[in-house]
Amino acid sequence: MAETVIRLFNGGLTTQPPLSLYIHLPWCVKKCPYCDFNSHAAQTLPEAAYIDALLLDLERALPDIWGRKIHTVFFGGGTPSLFSADGIDRILTGVRALTQLMPGAETTLEANPGTVEADKFAGFREAGVTRVSLGIQSFNPRHLQALGRIHDDSEARRAAELAATHFDTFNLDLMFALPGQTLAEALADIDTALSFEPPHLSAYHLTLEPNTPFGHAAPPNLPDDDLAADMQMAIESRLNEAGMQHYETSAYARPHHASRHNLNYWQFGDYLGIGAGAHSKLSFHDRIIRQMRTKYPQQYLNAIKAGTHIADARTLTRDDLPFEFMMNALRLNEGVPAALFEARTGLPLIVCAAALEHARGRGLLETDASRLKPTLQGQRFLNDLLALFLAA
């Protein structure tokens, strides 16, 4: 798809931000009723053909990232752990051959408890994966069934044990405000997760997304807003007591175990996304572009061969950039240095002066001019804070 280049900046970007690589593996065993990700249930995987397509996608993207080092790699899905360890090894071997992958780069792979065993985790580690993110969601069998998960509570515990055995750092993904969930049950999930001593834990509020069975066809009975807020605060308190820092809206980590890949997103870094439906954000001297690959797997495989796999490409305008930057940076509880705005967008921070003044006046943003940091109120009402920058 042809891209229209719009000159954005007065001076342009003087340095490019760190670059990450996102690799989308779109298949799963079963589509969960709450999921709105680009994932597709499949009985068999065209693993070899898809890896061929991924490596060709990466090769064709090289002119956009020429000379740049890749700091982190993330395999997302779908359920990447459905792929064989040999397949993951082949992808990472190709990445090393085609790009400047930094030594010691954080390489994360998402996994679901129903799709892993000891040999597979050992194989992923040998291939170069340094971190796994396990989609536990809950350790309660009733809630797992309500969420349509393919694993049970014993498989969830076993997967967490394997992650702790094979990886120095790993993440456990949990959800709260589940159908029929009580505050005690939400905290019981947290306590069970903590028993595996995870270096990182994500706790997401279940939301009903449009175009999902939960969102329109069969909405479940969820805890009300007050109970959900009580759960969120109780979870934060329990995890803080356990020595985990609440560093991002839904993320908690022990020292030195924050997700480096996700931090790059939140600090408005760059990322190249390859695979069906993958998104990219890439910075050049005079522009920042966003891209999206063809969404459906078979269409992506066909489009790669024809060189038509970029389904959408657009250049961010001056009006886009304040909100785009703040939407990421203000998810971080400690915020970012104020100087990062100009470094990442090429625009002077003064373009946000009115929004910043309004946010500070409403008690949503700290008054320290050297830092863009949400207050506790700003963290609790993040959408209200971000809305101020839509008209910046």
Q: What is the dihedral of CA 61, 66, 67, 72, to 10 degrees?
A: -20
Q: Is residue 275 part of a domain?
A: no
Is 6 a residue whose pLDDT tops 60? no
Using CA atoms, how far residue 300 sits from 171, 244, 274, in Å, is 30, 40, 10
| 36 & 174 share domain | yes
Same domain, 51 and 166: yes
SS3 content of the chain, % helix, strand, coil (to 5): 40, 25, 35
Residue 193 within any structural domain of the chain: yes
Percent of the chain with pLDDT over 70: 95
> Domain for residue 276, yes or no?
no
Q: Looking at the structure, tell me whether residues 348 and 225 fall in a common domain.
A: no
| Residue 298 CB coordination number (10 Å) | 12
Domain termination site, one of 265, 296, 326: 265
Please say whether the beta carbons of 138 and 92 come within 8 A: no
What's the mean pLDDT in 2-11?
41
pLDDT band for 2, please (50, 70, 90 cuts). Answer: very low
Regarding whether 376 and 244 lie in a shared domain, the answer is no
Helix (H, G, I), strand (E, B) or coil at 278: coil
Do 260 and 344 lie in one domain? The reply is no
Encoding tokens for residue 265?
A: 């997103």
Residue 146 belongs to some domain of the structure: yes
Q: Is residue 278, in this structure, part of any structural domain at all?
A: no
Beta strands of 236-358 (E only): which ranges?
A: 245-248, 251-253, 270-274, 279-283, 288-293, 310-315, 336-337
Please report the pLDDT score of residue 39 as a whole number: 79
* Residue 334, number of CB atoms within 10 A of its CB: 12
Same domain, 260 and 360: no
Q: What are phi and psi of 64, to 5 degrees?
A: -75, -20
Q: How many structural domains comprise the chain?
A: 2
At residue 352, what are phi and psi to the nearest 5 degrees?
A: -105, 10
Max distance between CA atoms of the chain, in angstroms, equals 58
Q: Are residues 373 and 258 in the same domain?
A: no
Q: What is the pLDDT of residue 215?
A: 67
pLDDT in tens, 61-92: 999 999 999 999 999 998 999 999 999 999 99
For residue 275, count CB atoms less than 10 angstroms from its CB and return exposed for 0-12, middle for 13-18, buried for 19 or more: buried
**Residue 42 pLDDT:** 82
Please, what is the average pLDDT of the chain?
Answer: 92
Same domain, 196 and 67: yes
Q: Dig out the tokens for 85 from the structure.
A: 């360890």
Between CA 377 and CA 111, with CA 219 as vertex, the angle to 5 degrees is 75
Exposed e or buried b for every residue in 137-173, given b needs 16+ CB within 10 A? Answer: bbbbeebbebbebebebebbbbbbebbeebbebbbbb
- β-strand 288-293 against 310-315: which pairing, if any? antiparallel
- Per-residue confidence band for 4, with pLDDT thresholds at 50, 70 and 90: very low
Which of the pair, 290 or 43, is modelled with greater confidence? 290
Averaged pLDDT, 368-374 = 97
Give the C-alpha separation, 266 to 332, whole Å: 7
The pLDDT tens digits for 162-183 are: 999 999 999 999 999 999 999 9
| Chosen domain end from 265, 290, 313 | 265
Q: Is the pLDDT of residue 9 over 70?
A: no
- The pLDDT of residue 358 is above 60: yes
pLDDT of the residue at 211: 76
The pLDDT of residue 355:
96
314 falls within a domain: no
Is the pLDDT assigned to residue 260 strictly greater than 50? yes
Q: Last residue of a domain, which of 242, 265, 288?
A: 265
CATH of the domain at 46: 3.20.20.70
228 and 374 assigned to the same domain: no
Residue 293, domain member (yes or no): no
Domain that holds residue 112: 19-265
Q: Convert the pLDDT of each residue in 264-288 to its tens digit.
A: 999 999 999 999 999 999 999 999 9
Are 33 and 176 found together in one domain?
Answer: yes
Compute the average pLDDT of residues 250-254. 97
Q: Is residue 324 part of a domain?
A: no
157 pLDDT more than 90: yes
Give the tens place of pLDDT for each residue, 195-243: 999 999 999 999 877 777 776 667 788 999 999 999 999 999 999 999 9
**Residue 152 shares a structural domain with residue 71:** yes
Q: Is the pLDDT of residue 348 over 90?
A: yes
Residues sharing a CB contact under 8 Å with residue 352, sequence separation 6 or more, in sequence order: 322, 326, 341, 389, 392
Residues 371 and 260 in one domain: no
pLDDT at 5 over 60: no
Assigned token pair, 129: 């994966």
Extended beta strands in the chain, E state:
19-25, 27-28, 40-41, 69-77, 100-111, 131-137, 169-176, 200-205, 245-248, 251-253, 270-274, 279-283, 288-293, 310-315, 336-337, 371-372
The pLDDT, as a whole number, for residue 371 is 97
Q: What is the mean pLDDT of residues 357-372?
A: 97
